[in-house]
Structure 1
């Protein structure tokens, strides 16, 4: 089979790695029949991969017991029967590292330990630390009961770890452990007594550590604790499912492994949270810095001079590499030893937006593996990120970027919904999700580098209505449960297959990405995640995306090893013609700026905005002077430039095919070479695109054969051959996949194709008839409420405004249409809330769950005289599940929101010979 035939076969029949996946939320122990039924439901919907996830409503004591593991085995056996793959979600609820408390049960010494600090002023002989607050409190009582035994935080085993004293007048720092007489600990803090008062003009900084006596989390920087977590949380899966490892069970998946973030009264300094701590970490710090340990610890907290910032960056590099190897290194070693791939994702401060500080702003994420996303990805075999809400955001392209850094491409994207609309509450989610929203989000992610969406989640149950407590009632635990949306059964399979085919189509493509944006890791280490670099990175990446300019984030380690060829900076096989430094203030060494100079002098455009380099992590502190010398070769901007300038960063040189979109067009695209002679492009007109939006396929000299690969049905149609620019028209919500191959004989000059033309078959149509009156709404007999209802209904607004405010199920709009003779008709629904299935005289003829809602009903399904037209609407579940909760200010629209339009074909299509 040729490479072309292989690609076409994969496109037609996508595999489980490219098809949608799901977290399968378990709220209670399922029986075998329920397991097999839901696995079959996933398979039939096109969800070909899943991870079982025990949620907070699942009894915590039952996690990983014999019954739970037997149920998991049944699920894997069912998946194997259907040719599906399974990933093992590696913990209870989320946040890898506790195994529902099994890891620390009987091993109190392995519970998370943290490093705190207090300042004692001159003349004082004691200091106190107290009112420690866990970040988990923000998630509510259910989360506190999950993280902590008894739902309360209690500290024990307080120890003095470091005693620093600043000495006047120069403010030098030294260690004086003998200054501490004793430390008295309580469940909420400690008091430190000194042997005498702090000298005049000096200050003491006392670092103390404590073990959280009630936490179910292991200490993530304690190698023994991590090994115990693997023993308690990973090995049971191997014992129960080992024969499926490496086949049906394909990978392990970690989720946001981190210690809890803690703040306390009177905390001061640059670090905004207590630090995970262990004697082995302390020993590694001592080994690394020896007599300079005091200077390093002081610099972590204080100072904005180059020397302090240099030490601060050095510390976070050390902490990051230590934590990554200690925790993720052990997980990966176990997975590989058992024939499994390793996947999962860390906490992403950019989730849900573009800025690096979009989310988790009250946490100091430098303690989350140092925010070294490139480093973390080195411990995965399958890159994964998460994405929040139905938004275009940084996560997918960042995930694809770190994957490419390690010689891979594409990322899994865990998609969840969190931000509520007006009247909502955190975690109440988005039961109002439409398939159009989900499809647009998925296509956007694919265009940014997503291989597979993992939906969060597929629900075992839909909870209960007696309360709406976040997280504990499954109904309000990150909804929607995709399979409880009324539109799921009829319409999700088409979305799933389209998403999988788009993923397969783009998989072998090297995307045209002309701009490299330097991830300002060391600036994050010195300034914190909330600095200017956070906003600058977001502004650049968002502007490039909106301008349609391809980019990747790159690591400083890439930059140092880069080469320059023909005006492009090259990271291995990746080539970029512009390099962006977004408010970068800290770099590893002078070698980096020397490399930037070489890149700029070789013709690659180098741009910087905001603050500029002033600190080196290593070496003499000459960064500001070195930058001043380099500055004439760099474009230093006050702000991110507009679309015209951004598109000019890499002007088209005519050497390869490319797509070009008009300024401001709501059209997204991704594409590039699959091989030297074959190029593939996917383009998508978003909902807001004007009807008839165009893109130009620009071709180099020569003859090119054009094909369109149809994601809807897996077919391929020839668009002929061309030797110049091809204009493509796209309707809103249309996705077009183009394959361009060099070397075909020309059949004409430029080719123009029109998608969805109303007259492409040569037929003539009557003027639209507005079907505003005489509609009935019929609710099926098996509906959960209003079953068997038949009533008159207006089609100028949804049924939620016509006495059915809490009804959110399938319902049929029924009307008679009268025809003089059987003829093809076209039905258009201008405004719809839900998925649509159209039937004529009892025969289903078409389905669609995203606009445009335009349907052709063949003449063969119609007759002279009266014909029954039935439009089944399946809306979102919002009005069912939010009713009576106070979580929404008003019901959400359901059904037809404007009168349908009907046109009749009045002349037959022209014969083929006349086309």
Structure 2
């Protein structure tokens, strides 16, 4: 499988621990723990955002490796001169320089599939090749009214359908080309005087012909130009937040393409036509229900036309498809990524705020880790810190990475390392978190070493958890997840198709390979999804528990969770800011990992008997191994315990 390529570097560098006589490896590989292989390095976006120079590319790669960074994503970015266009011969020449140097140094690379984003339009080349492949959308207009002018695009509109609204008025709904673009690679105007940006026309990702054109233009070209690096230095291709409406510049448009209403109706199993007004009008009966159904159908169409073809292409060419979808809780699309991924951007998640546990973005890290686990992927990644602004501190950056790691992320993609900070480039989705940051020479290498050790643990050990939280392909709940985190009860998200082959075993445990769950948690609004849970499995209806608790009856959702599932570690008194995971490897080694996500220090006697490891240095720390030592966790501090080793 393509994801195995990511660990090939690790296998080659740790081969010395396995003799030709195939002696059994030690239960816990201390040598690897102290310095895991390049496969577990951070893999930052490297913004190529100015005139490029071969010697400078080589120099910067050397600087990355000096700080422990042994991987990167080549990300062509706004600021490139027009002489270095998307897919140009010059661009590929510089890519070959970077890949050759990475190969010489034993580093690895992900390619980025767009110039610049969202993915899928080949920086306007798809529509340039065939204007019929321009992005389309559904619009709604009053029947008999004057159509809204759309700059000549109505000539390409399909005949609409007339639908009667709840108030008796008729509306006409049809699809047509819409005004949507992607961000381009080149500034427009004077760079030193508030330049504009190129905005290439976006392609119709719901149209399989447009996606096939994108594959031919980008993926096939990558293979022709860089195929000798595939499967060795080039481990995968990163696709970035593909969106059926891309960057839309008009209002009142819903995702759509030619024939989409008939396709949606067939996929949903009922005629969606009478429900169409609910996409625009809040007063339509059960509007949210029909909008949710439409979102599910559009997501399924994106799986069919975009994600699945790209995934098949990458698998056929020996590399991994990775990246992330447009929304933080769209878990369904992750199934098609050989390395499932997500993205923390625009200060969505911040230390010391409710955002760490509440809202759709709070679900993203667990979404990617859950898909990795259930589909037996080897890795899962998260891009993070994009557009966090110049006020971002090193303390906040480290916390963001820790927030991801304690939720199971094992491949960190910092946003971003800037090739150039010249002129307007320094203010483009800042900050530079790498060579141009204040911490590059003041702690970065030590931080990279810590994240590398924790990525190795997350990648090579499996989580031990008993709770499954029910979601859907396009949406994940967070209330029960918050209670799990605060009570150090680990969990995975599941969606109905994950449950297709699940069975209930002795004691009512739900066996969903490779996991075994004592309870499935379902929140209000997920009744339809709960029908997929096999008979005999325990289902905890979160909102019912909370209502009963409010009436003075029952322990509430969190109390029921504590009754049905074990905490990784219990603290007395409780410490709701401490997160925990229990991990086990194939040799039977178990590790407990603790992270103080909060802003207050924690001092507790901890019932853990084992050996304490320092993820910052790789050293062993004093611990009495009798299970009653006092643990001191500073804010944002880590503790790792080797608690069991079975040969």
1:480 equivalent in alignment to 2:432: yes
Aligned with 1:728: secondary structure? strand
Q: Does 1:446 align with 2:386?
A: no
The aligned length equals 590
Match of 1:62 among 85, 89, 109: 85
| Structure (1 or 2) with the greater strand fraction | 1
Q: Secondary structure at the match of 1:228?
A: helix
> Which residue of 2 is the match for residue 663 of structure 1?
574
**Structure richer in helix, relative to its length:** 2
Q: Do the aligned partners of 2:392 and 2:431 also contact (CA within 8 Å) in 1?
A: no
| 1:446/1:378 CA distance change after superposition, 3 Å | same
CA distance in 2: counterparts of 1:409 and 1:637, whole angstroms: 41
Distance, in Å, in 2 between the alignment partners of 1:639 and 1:385 is 36
In structure 2, the residue matched to 1:128 is: 147
Greater shift after overlay, 79-88 or 660-669? 660-669
Q: Distance in 1 between matches of 2:220 and 2:437?
A: 36
User: In the alignment, is the contact (CA less than 8 A) between 2:164 and 2:274 conserved in 1?
Assistant: no
Q: SS at the partner of 2:29?
A: helix
Question: Which sections of structure 1, spanning at least 5 residues, go unmatched?
Answer: 133-152, 172-199, 268-272, 351-370, 420-428, 465-471, 525-533, 611-633, 700-705, 745-915
Change in CA separation of 1:473 and 1:31 when aligned onto 2, cut-off 3 Å:
closer
SS of equivalent to 1:75: helix
Q: Is the 8 A contact 2:268 2:297 kept in 1?
A: no
2:97 counterpart of 1:97: no
**Counterpart of 1:575?**
516
Could you tell me which residue of structure 2 aligns to residue 232 of structure 1? 217
Are 1:554 and 2:510 counterparts?
A: no
> In the superposition, relative to structure 1, how do residues 640 and 462 fare at CA in structure 2: closer, same or farther (>3 Å)?
farther
After superposition, the Cα gap between the structure-2 partners of 1:698 and 1:648, relative to the gap in structure 1 and judged at 3 Å, is: farther
Q: TM-score, normalised by structure 2?
A: 0.81
Structure 2, unmatched stretches of 5+, are 1-17, 19-23, 182-199, 357-361
Contact 1:609–1:639 (8 Å) recurs in 2: no
Distance change (3 Å), C-alpha of 1:202 and 1:689: closer
CA offsets 1:792-825 (integer angstroms, 9 cap, x no match):
xxxxxxxxxxxxxxxxxxxxxxxxxxxxxxxxxx
Cα deviation for residue 400 of structure 1 reads 0.8
Q: 1:596 to 1:68 in 2, by over 3 A?
A: same
Q: Supply the distance in 2 between the matched residues of 1:685 and 1:202 (Cα, whole angstroms).
A: 57
CA contact (8 A) 1:661 1:667 kept: no
User: Is the contact made by 2:501 and 2:512 (CA closer than 8 Å) also made in structure 1?
Assistant: yes
User: Which residue does 2:451 correspond to in 1?
Assistant: 499
Task: Kindly indicate whether structure 1 or structure 2 has the higher relative contact order, using CA contacts under 8 Å at least 6 residues apart.
Answer: 2
Contact residue 154 and residue 212 of structure 1 kept, 8 A: no
1:245 aligns with 2:230: yes
Tell whether 2:609 aligns with 1:609.
Answer: no
2:57 aligned to which of 12, 35, 51: 35
Q: Deviations over 1:670-711 (max 9, x none)?
A: 2233358431012234573336x1252346xxxxxx223332
Tell me, yes or no, if the aligned pair for 1:577 and 1:649 is still in contact at 8 Å: no
| Greater C-alpha Rg | 1
SS in 2 for 1:477: coil
Closer/same/farther in 2, CA of residues 297 and 576 from structure 1, 3 Å limit: same
Q: List per-residue Cα deviations over 1:420-470 (Å, max 9, x = no partner).
A: xxxxxxxxx13x433332222222211111102111101111233xxxxxx
State the 1:598 CA deviation.
Answer: 2.9
Matches of 1:286 and 1:594 in 2, distance apart? 22
- 1:240 deviates by 2.0
- The equivalent of 1:598 in structure 2 is 536
Q: How does 1:235-384 map to 2 (within 5 A)?
A: 235-258=220-243, 259-260=245-246, 262=248, 267=252, 273-279=253-259, 281=260, 284-285=263-264, 292=271, 294-295=273-274, 297=276, 315-349=294-328, 371=330, 373-374=331-332, 376-384=333-341
* Secondary structure at 2:441 match in 1: helix
Residue in structure 2 matched with residue 76 of structure 1 by the alignment:
99
CA contact (8 A) 2:134 2:204 kept: yes
Alpha carbons 1:697, 1:728 under 8 Å: kept? no
Q: In the alignment, which residue of structure 2 is the partner of 1:646?
A: 558
Q: Is it true that 1:564 corresponds to 2:516 in the alignment?
A: no
Spell out, residue by residue over 1:325-384, the C-alpha distance to the aligned partner (whole angstroms, 9 max, x if none).
Answer: 21112212222222211111001246xxxxxxxxxxxxxxxxxxxx4x22x122111011
Please tell me whether the aligned partners of residues 503 and 534 of structure 2 are also in contact (alpha carbons under 8 angstroms): no
- Name the SS of the counterpart of 2:336 in structure 1: coil
Tell me how far 1:155 sits from its aligned partner.
Answer: 3.3
* Whole-Å separation in 2 of the counterparts to 1:717 and 1:264: 59
| Length-normalised TM-score, structure 1 | 0.58
C-alpha distance in structure 2 between counterparts of 1:236 and 1:609, whole Å: 52
Q: Deviations along 1:881-904, whole A, 9 cap, x unmatched?
A: xxxxxxxxxxxxxxxxxxxxxxxx
Q: 2-side partners of 1:644 and 1:694: how far apart?
A: 26
State the alpha-carbon separation in 2 of the partners of residues 578 and 726 from structure 1: 32
CA distance in 1, matches of 2:572, 2:74: 42
Alpha-carbon RMSD across the aligned residues, in angstroms, is 3.6
User: How far apart are 1:241 and its partner, in Å?
Assistant: 1.2
